[in-house]
A = this chain, B = another copy of it.
Amino acid sequence: MGTRKRREKDREAMRRRILDAAKQLFAKQGFDNVSMRGIAAAIEYSPAALYRYFKNKREILSVLRDEGFKRFVQTQKERSEAIPDPLERLRLSGRGYLRFALEEPEYFHLMFSTSCQEVDMEGDCDGYARKSFEIFYQNIQECVENGYFGQVSVDAAVFSIWSNVHGLAHLINSGRVEAFTDSLDFDRLLKDIQAFSLRPGAR
């Protein structure tokens, strides 16, 4: 029936509205400082209405984080699959990571700014995160095996490069890069940073 489908679509749209409002608020004020009342007010519904769509406050966060990871992995995968050169793949992957962080700062915040185990990963976050990590790890491994980074353990390279891009995303999103540079050409700066952080290692 058309009605049935319509219903489902409406329901999904409502969930979306709630999630979007919550996403903004969580990122802006932190999970604890956001109240169900606040979310409800943001979408101009009654607090009780939220409970028709989500079991409780925690579930909203959980779903959001899940979404974030899913979307993130998606982009990472797409970007990396086609490229044969591991170094080029790495560059793309890094740019993807950064772009995700900058374009979806709320998701990024929700995904990475709370401790890993704190909220015990109710959804598939864990799975997605691991998947994504494995792709990344493979990528680095190829580079290391090619000798591009010189004498270095895969683990060291992995966490160093991850830290690099992760930290950069963080510094940008928290306004620290802007605050401390006079550089006018932001994109140029980013490129230079990446070039530097992926510079070849001593043989």
A164-B163, A195-B156 are known contacts. Are A179 and B32 too (CB-CB below 8 A)? no
Nearest CB on B from A1, distance (A) = 18
The 0/1 profile, CB within 8 Å of B marked 1, for residues 120-135 of chain A is 0000000000100100
Shortest Cβ distance from A137 into B: residue = B180
Of the four ranges (under 10, 10 to 19, 20 to 34, 35 or more), the interface on chain A belongs to: 35 or more
- Is A50's beta carbon under 8 Å from chain B? no
- Is A167's beta carbon under 8 Å from chain B? yes
A152 to B33: give the CA distance in the assembly, Å: 42
A199 to B164: give the CA distance in the assembly, Å: 14
Nearest CB on B from A133, distance (A) = 5
Q: Quick check: B167 and A117 within 8 Å, CB to CB?
A: no
Shortest Cβ distance from A157 into B: residue = B196
23 of the cross-chain contacts (CB-CB < 8 Å) are A30-B32, A32-B32, A32-B33, A113-B113, A113-B174, A116-B175, A117-B175, A133-B180, A153-B192, A159-B168, A159-B189, A160-B164, A162-B167, A162-B171, A163-B166, A163-B171, A164-B164, A164-B167, A166-B167, A166-B171, A167-B167, A167-B169, A199-B202
